Every structure is written in structure tokens, then in C-alpha cells.
């Protein structure tokens, strides 16, 4: 074969010397706070990398790439009144924040499903003696 063969693998389309923000963490901690911090890191990355000067379609692709596969799955499920919103970064952030608010509300409603008198975890008192004490049992 007279032609040089290119190495198989992903093709780098967007070369940027800046580190990507971490993926959006939806599985631990305060999801709303995780989202706010992640969004800020993505905005800084977009500005520093020049992504903000790219087309809206590329901006959405960068945001989704930063979010990770679970954010892409969420994005693919969004209902859009106008198909032009598909490539609008502001609409992506708006829809993602609304989605996370609904998820948070659903999680919080689990605590309110019985008589309404159940304490939410943040309403429970802290253990008093600082030893091996939990809300459900005590050990001496």
C-alpha cells in the first residue's frame, strides 16, 4: 500500500488547551448546587476556549459533551415547541434546569407521601452524644 494509513481512533475536531469541566453530577449531593457549579464551570470553559464565538449548534454540542452521556440522554428527551430551540444554548440550560427542578421535586415528594408528618432528612436532629448514634438505633 503506497498511501500512508491513518491511525484508527477519534478525530479531534476542536483543539483546546483548556481542561474540560467535570461532567454534571446528578447522583450525589445537592443536585441544584451541582448544576449551578457545573454551569458556571462550563460558561468559563466556553469563554476561555473561544467556544462562545462558535455557532449555537457547536455551543450546544460543547455543553452536552461537558455534561456527559446522561445529560445527552436528558437532552434527547426534551419536548421543544420550536425545533430551532434544539441548537440554542440558553434554551438547553433553561430546559436542563427545569428538568432538574422536577427531579428534585419528585425526590422531595417521597418524604411527604404518608401522613405529611414524616421528617425530611434535613429536619432530623443531629445525634446528641457524638458517638455511634443514628436515627434508627443506638450503640453504646
| Contact present, 85 and 96 (Cβ < 8 Å) | no
Cβ-contact 59, 30 below 8 angstroms: no
Whether 121 is in a domain gets the answer no
Please tell me the pTM assigned to this model. Answer: 0.63
In a domain, 22, yes or no: no
CA distance 59 to 92: 10
Q: Flag whether 135 is in a domain.
A: no
C-alpha grid cell, residue 64: 452536552
| DSSP letter string, 93-127 | HHHHHHHHHHHHHHHHHHTTSSSS-PPPGGGSPPP
132 within a domain of the structure (yes/no): no
Task: Give CA–CA dist 37/112, Å, rounded.
Answer: 28
Structural domain tally of the chain?
1
Is the residue at 113 inside a domain? Answer: no
Residue 88 lies in domain: 31-108
pLDDT tens-digit profile of 55-111? Answer: 999 999 999 999 999 999 999 998 888 888 889 999 999 999 988 887 655 555 544
Amino acid at each position: 500500500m503506497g498511501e500512508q494509513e491513518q491511525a484508527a481512533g477519534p478525530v479531534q475536531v476542536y483543539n483546546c488547551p483548556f481542561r474540560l469541566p467535570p461532567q454534571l453530577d446528578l447522583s450525589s449531593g445537592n443536585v441544584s448546587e451541582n448544576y449551578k457549579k457545573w454551569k458556571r464551570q462550563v460558561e468559563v470553559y466556553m469563554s476561555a476556549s473561544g467556544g462562545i464565538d462558535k455557532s449555537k449548534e457547536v455551543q450546544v454540542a460543547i455543553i452536552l459533551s461537558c455534561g456527559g452521556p446522561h445529560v445527552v440522554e436528558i437532552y434527547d428527551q426534551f419536548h421543544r415547541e420550536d425545533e430551532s430551540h434544539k441548537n440554542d444554548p440558553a434554551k438547553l440550560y433553561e430546559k436542563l434546569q427545569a428538568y432538574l427542578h422536577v427531579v428534585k421535586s419528585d425526590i422531595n415528594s417521597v418524604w411527604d407521601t404518608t401522613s405529611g408528618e414524616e421528617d425530611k432528612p434535613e429536619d432530623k436532629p443531629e445525634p446528641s452524644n457524638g458517638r455511634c448514634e443514628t436515627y434508627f438505633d443506638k450503640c453504646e
